[in-house]
């Protein structure tokens, strides 16, 4: 069953964020993940949502998603991520 990673993002340092995004792209390749959508919020139509951007990434399944998150390649990016942006990552099963 496909699994999806949804990231809600508010960038604090755009240059550092670009470094992080480039690293994430490379880290996804061995896991066969696909970025489905990356965009900037246009409007909140109902409720509250404090983040500016969202990313949706599809993985083969939840174990693959969890393997990517635990991978050395991604774990090395976390300090950059945390400096560059406020991020909430949530995994979903389809």
The predicted structure's pLDDT at residue 93: 96
The predicted structure's pLDDT at residue 85: 98
Q: How confident is the model at residue 60 (pLDDT cuts 50, 70, 90)?
A: very high
Q: What digits encode the pLDDT tens for the residues 1-30?
A: 999 999 999 999 999 999 999 999 999 999
Q: What is the mean pLDDT of residues 75-79?
A: 98
Residues 81, 34: Cα–Cα separation, whole Å: 19
Domain count, the chain: 1
CB neighbour list of residue 58: distance below 8 Å, 6 or more residues apart = 2, 3, 4, 33, 34, 36
% of the chain at pLDDT higher than 70: 100
CB neighbourhood size of 62 (10 A): 16
What is the span of the domain harbouring residue 86? 3-42+50-93
| Cβ–Cβ < 8 Å for 79, 90 | no
Q: What is the mean pLDDT of residues 57-63?
A: 98
CATH number assigned to the domain comprising residue 62 = 3.30.70.100
């Amino acid at each position: 069953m496909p699994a999806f990673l949804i990231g809600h993002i508010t960038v604090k340092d755009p240059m550092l964020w670009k470094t992080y995004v480039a690293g994430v792209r490379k880290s996804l390749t061995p896991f066969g993940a696909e970025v489905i959508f990356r965009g900037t919020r246009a409007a909140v139509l109902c409720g509250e949502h404090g983040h500016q951007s969202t990313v949706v990434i599809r993985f083969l399944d939840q174990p693959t998603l969890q393997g990517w998150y635990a991978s050395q390649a991604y774990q090395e990016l976390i300090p950059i991520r945390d400096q560059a942006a406020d991020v909430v990552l949530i995994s979903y099963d389809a």
